[in-house]
Structures are given as C-alpha cells and as structure tokens.
Chains A and B, each alone.
Chain A
Amino acid sequence: MIKVEWFYWLIAAFFLVVAYMVFRDDTNPRRITSALFWALLGLCFPYSSFVVAKTLPAWPLGLTVVAIACIAGFHGLAHGTQEKTTSPQERQRLADRFGNKLFVPVLIIPVVTGLFATFGTKLSIGGQPVLEPLSETVIGLGASAIVAVIVGMWVLRTPHPAVPLHEGRRLTENIGWASVLPQLLAMLGLVFATAGVGKAIGDSAGQILPRGSLVAAVVLYCVGMALFTIIMGNAFAAFPVMTAAIGFPLLIQHFHGNAPAVFAIGMLSGYCGTLCTPMAANFNIVPVALLELRSDYAVIREQLPTAVPLLACNIALMYFLAFR
C-alpha cells in the first residue's frame, strides 16, 4: 500500500536538501540560522510520523516548532542575494525554443492528481487498497509532482536533477517562514480548542440569543460563523461551536429549520470569513509570498468585496430557503 507518510518523508528530504544548499550559500547573511531553520523543519516531518503513530511523545516536536518560530521571528531567516536562475532575456530565448511544450509538465499535475482522485479510491490488489484510504488526494498531488518533474526534465532536456532541486529551493526560500505558518496556526487552533476558547465564544454568542426573532437568529448564526472563522482561521473549527450555541438549539429545534440547508449555508458563511483572515495563512498569506507581493494583506484586500456581499447572500438564502 502506498502510504501518505512516504510523501511527508519526501518533503522532509527536500527541506534537508534546502538546508544543505542554504548552508553552502555564502551570499546569505544569516547562513547558519537559516540552514538551521530548514534542517529543523525537515526533521520535524519524520518525527511527526512517530507522533501520529503514538510511539514517541509529542512535546519534543512542539518544542522544536517553537524553536523554528523563534528563528524566523527574531530575523534568523534570510536568503542569498545571488540569483542563480536564468535571466529574463534567457527566458525569452528558451521560450522561443520550447514553445508550448513548456505547458506539458505543468498540465501533468492536474491530470495525474485528477486520475488519483477519481480512480485512486477504487484501486485494490488482493482486497488491499493500493493507496492509503482518506489520503488519496494528498498522495495524488505528491505523485503528480514526481511524475511532472521527470517529464519536465525529459521535455526540457535537463540532464541533472540538481536543476529542479535548485529551482525548488529558490521558490521555497522565497516563501520562507510562510511555508510553516499554516501548520503553526493549526497548532494554535488545537490549543484554542483544548483551552476552551470555542466554548467561551459560543457561550457569549448564546447569551445574546434572540429567542423571538428568526431573522436575528439567522444573522447571528451566519455572522457568528464568519467572525469565529476569522478568529480561528478555519471554518471547520467554528462550525461545531456556533452550531452548538445557535445553529442546533435555535434554528433547528426552535424554528424547525431544514437541517441540511441550515448547516450547509452556515458552513459556507464561515468560508466568507476564511476569505477575510490572515489566520487562514495557506489561502491568504502563502500566495502573497508565492506571487511576490509586497503587502501581506494584498490577497485579502481583493477578496473582501466578494466576501461581504456573499455573506449577505448566505443570510438571505438561509432565511428564505431553510424555513419553509
């Protein structure tokens, strides 16, 4: 069976290669601490396998992540000044040479990912699933990356695997600490949940509970989902809390709403919040780094004018469709 852990180990190997390259990069003003950042991050991934399997304690991992955060937070992470990729002029020439063949490796990614997502769940040998259940899409994305890099090297006549590794390291360094931030936020979410933040917010939302008014209850549920998602960065974390506080007792039990409609639209109200928050780093902060934008909030700014009217639509949809 192909296991998702293999791909996490592959990520780990990639981070360690990045660490090595950074360590060798004399143009990096913070060579040692930067290399340490990537190396520690790389070591966290295989260790996590044992944490998930509950064969090793989780706290050393937590401690390492705090160390990683401190390296990044206290300006220990930098990257080299010397650019070792092709110049814009060279790229024009290379584009002349390869033309639309350049799209082949990029299009391999969706094709292979799509195949894994569609057929991956059905594959089995002797009753054993070929892909680890519930991880088919993650495995698909990882596998597509491997296939794409092989095809890319062939199509673009790249003799040495150091070239894609080097380019991958360049892009990863560009993303920098933003590549770990989503996981840090997931950690924070877990602490929030364990410490009872959700319950505290749910209780206070429950206290302004408008018993008599359906409109007010719908608005409170939808806006509450959006706001709590903005705080937690994740609608999945907000959903159980707001549903326990308002959604179920008020909208379902008291006003007899249509449960699938209430919950589906409630979750999507949370997604409107996801569009507005830096806490959803993988959607809103990582692309800032990937697209080399100067403002951390550039993506959120472009999403706000969609998120706000869409939240209003959700409120109207729930009010008019779920209580008939």
Chain B
Amino acid sequence: MLVLLGVLLVVVGFALRLNPMLVVTAAGLVTGALGGMSPMEILDAFGTGFAGSRSIVIFLLVLPVIGLVERNGLQEQSRRLIGRMARLTTGRVMALYLLVRQATCAIGLLSIGGHAQSVRPIVAPMAEAAAVKRHGRLSRRLSERIRAFAAGTDNVGAFFGEDIFVAVGAVLLITSFVDTTYKLQLRPLDVALWAIPTAVCALLIHGFRSLRLDRTIAREVEADAARGEPAAEATGEGFTAGEEVRP
C-alpha cells in the first residue's frame, strides 16, 4: 500500500501547480523506491518507457507544414471561409466537426484529425471566426474558451469513435488481455459493436453542448460588455503572433 504515496505525490504536485516534469519525475523515483526497485531498475524502467512511447510525438513532424501554411495566411483564410457561410455558427462548426471526427475514427482513420493537424490550423480559427462574425470582437478569455472547446471536441470525437473500429488498440487490448488471462474467446467485432451505444450517447451529449455553445457565447459577450471588459487585446486576428502564453 505504501506505493500509493507516489500517486499522492502526483495529485498534490498537480494541485499545487508545480512543474509537471518535476512532479512526474519525482513521483517515478519515489514510487519505484517504495516499490522496492533499485535506482538502476527505476532508470531502466524510465528508459524503456520512453523508448516504447515514441509514437506519441510523431505528430510533431506535421508542425513544419502547419507553420508554413499558417505563415502564408491559413488561419486568415479559414476565417474568411467561415465568414462567407452565413449559417455556420460556432456551435454548428463544433457539432459538425464532432460528427466528422467520430465517423472517420469509427472507420479506423484516427490520425487524420488531431490537435496539430486539424484543430489548430482549421477548426479552432473557424469556430472563433464564426463567433467574431456574430458578436464583433471577443474578449481573450472567451476566445480561449472557444479554442479549448474545439480541442475537447476533437478528443471526444476521437475517443468515442475509435473503439467502434475493430482493429484499434483498445479493442485488441481488451480481447488479448481477457483471452489470455481468463481463457475466454471474445470476438473483436462483438467488443467493437458494444462501443456503439456509448458512442451515440457521446454524440448526443457533446453535440447538444456544442449547439448550446452559441447561447453561452452570446451570454458571455453580454456579460463582458456589461462589465466593460476590454475587448482590445481580443482576437479575430488569431493566436498566431508569438505572444508569450505559457508561464
């Protein structure tokens, strides 16, 4: 039970907003030590964990081309495009993206979307521009909220779409673990089919929230105006010009 102190360390570290890199490293060292691992074994586990998880960063390879098109005005063009489509509100952009993301993931196309390759260059600017089209300028707080919602929509669509696809990691993990551990014989197709009810719920819940986003935005814009919050630093011009954002 002592090893759970390592978990506590992570929770406390994140709660105190210490640098996550240090929190995670310290938690690893402490947990390993409490679990009776030698320093060498801990470092070995660190190394093996790093080497085995390299595929997570492969998305960085798309950054040069994303930067290239952004430099040439991609986000501006995304905004213009949305400006011409009168019926597309922020909420509808989100709901539409949710549907597309979920549907493509369900047929196994997980990595065709993502925060680097679709949210930052296209979806987030469009969602923001749709709100700007309606309300004029937005406060920085509100435009950040819209961007964060766009990132969340990508996650929801991906998580609750991918499991419908038979050959995805989660389905194969379930079947291989259960089959080898408990001597059952699950068919991946059955597991994938049982992901459909949850996928429908996710689409309904997050789709509903997406469509309601327009009302939330309208309310917040009013509240901002009432408070006299300066829209001066606010956007419509995007989050491109390298302002220092992370502390």
Contacts and interface: CB of A to CB of B under 8 A. Distances in A.
A149 B68 contact: yes
Nearest to B173: A236
A310 B198 contact: yes
Interface string A26-48: 00000000000000000011001
A98 B62 contact: no
A190 B48 contact: yes
Contacts of B191: 260, 263-264
A244 B206 contact: no
Given A88-B237, A152-B69, A271-B160, A263 B197 contact: no
A62 B44 contact: yes
Interface residues of B, number: 126
Which size bracket describes the interface of A in this complex? 35 or more
Residue among B14, B27, B115, B237 with most chain A CB within 10 A: B115
A278 B73 CA distance: 32
A103 B72 CA distance: 11
A265 B194 contact: yes
Contacts of B72: 86, 91, 94-95, 98, 102, 156
B144 A298 contact: yes
Contacts of B67: 85, 164, 166-168, 170-171
Interface in B19-58: 19-22, 24-25, 27-28, 31-32, 34-37, 40-58
Nearest to A230: B11
B103 interface: no
A248 B10 CA distance: 29
Contacts of A187: 24, 28, 45-46, 49-50, 53
A22 interface: no
Contacts of B55: 4, 135, 138
A44 B32 contact: no
A313 B160 CA distance: 13
B50 A183 contact: yes
B209 interface: yes
B119 interface: yes
B69 A179 contact: no
Given A260-B190, A306-B152, A137 B64 contact: no
What are the nearest 4 A-B pairs in CB distance? A195-B35, A167-B67, A62-B46, A95-B73
Contact of B3 (A180, A200, A278, A305): A200
Interface in A75-114: 83, 85-88, 91-100, 102-103, 105-106, 109-111, 113-114
Nearest to A68: B21
Nearest to A183: B53
Contact of A51 (B7, B25, B47): B47
Interface string B184-205: 1011001111110110011001
A147 B75 CA distance: 21
Interface of B: 1, 3-4, 6-7, 10-11, 14, 17, 19-22, 24-25, 27-28, 31-32, 34-37, 40-77, 80-81, 108-113, 115-122, 124, 144-145, 147-152, 154-156, 159-160, 163, 169-171, 173-174, 177-178, 181-182, 184, 186-187, 190-195, 197-198, 201-202, 205-206, 209, 237-243, 245-246
Contacts of B53: 182-183, 186-187
B226 to A, nearest CB: 23
A57 B192 CA distance: 39
B58 A191 contact: no
B24 A181 contact: yes
6 contacts: A59-B46, A85-B70, A113-B112, A153-B68, A263-B186, A294-B245
A7 B57 CA distance: 10
Contact of B159 (A99, A231, A274, A296): A274
Given A69-B21, A181-B20, A176 B73 contact: no
B11 to A, nearest CB: 8
Nearest to A77: B21
Contact of B152 (A102, A289, A303): A303
A215 interface: no
A145 B116 CA distance: 11
B116 A110 contact: no
Contact of B111 (A106, A117, A188, A263): A117
B48 A142 contact: no
Given A86-B71, A197-B3, A264-B174, A11 B58 contact: yes
Contacts of A110: 109, 112-113, 117-118
A189 B48 CA distance: 11
B201 to A, nearest CB: 4
Interface in A261-292: 261, 263-265, 267-268, 271, 274-275, 278-279, 281-292
